[in-house]
Amino acid sequence: MERTAVLFVLLSFCITSLALECRVVPGKLKQLDVGNGQMFGVNSSNEVYTLYSTGWIQVPGSLKHVSVGPAGVWGVDSNNYIYKLVGGDWVIVPGLLKQVDAGGMFSPAGVSMNDDIFCLTGGQGSWTYIPGKLKYYSCGPYSCWGVNSADTIFIMKGVTPTACAGSLSWEQIPGALSMIEVSTDGKVFGVTSNGDIYERDGVSMSNPAGTGWHQVQHPQKVKHVSYDLGHLWLINADNSIMDCTE
């Protein structure tokens, strides 16, 4: 039974792989996010940085996770307090999350310390609870994707600017990922527990779940990915940063 399950996971990913052309970006980060032409990241000391053409600029504050997208710039600190960047200052938002995502259409979403799932319609008001358990959640223009503690992949369809929780019906996607990111234009990338990168094929407004996975070849093991404007940004296992194109 166990061998069958492992075989299913392996077969669920297409064996086709595409090579990346990458450049090393100076600096070290443990997590980053790109969206709407912006980039923010945090290092191992929870210092926050944003990238301009001249290089990294430190942003005041201390966060363990940061996200940028149509919903703005959001982050959570080591105590799981939630913040939104408003006029250059971090403004605390009621609630507690360990991971937040700003990629949805005006609505941030995230997961709590207990893997409970929440979203915030319009970026204000009270958090809406979404039944289920996930360790990582990411939204885009068509849908939201997440992975649970067993690395099982799920999609939530029907997410709109006025209904951030979507259909409330989880659809399991074949495969296994330890983290997943949806870009502003709807592309879906993920990283496996052993540091391999995969991209979801065929994702569109008419088919939010896509058609399958293909492996994105990269010589190093990766722990985090984010995609925007034709560039796939990677954080390798040693916290080094790479800017890649296919």
**Per-residue tokens: 140:** 């885009």
Enumerate the domain spans of the chain.
Answer: 2-245
Average pLDDT, the chain: 92
Pick the CATH number of 2-245 from 3.30.2350.10, 1.20.1640.10, 2.130.10.30, 2.60.40.420: 2.130.10.30
**pLDDT tier at 18 (50, 70, 90 boundaries)?**
low
8 Å CB contact between 109 and 120 = yes
Cα–Cα distance, 186 to 181 (Å, whole number): 9
* pLDDT at position 4 over 50: no
- Per-residue pLDDT tens digits for 122-142: 878 899 999 999 999 999 998
Neighbour order of strands in the sheet with 128-130: 99-101, 109-111, 117-119, 128-130
Give percent of the chain above pLDDT 90. Answer: 84
Q: Which of 171, 177, 144 is nearest to 71 (CA)?
A: 144
Residue 40 burial (10 A CB sphere; 0-12, 13-18, 19+): buried
- Per-residue pLDDT tens digits for 78-116: 999 999 999 999 999 999 999 999 998 789 999 999 999
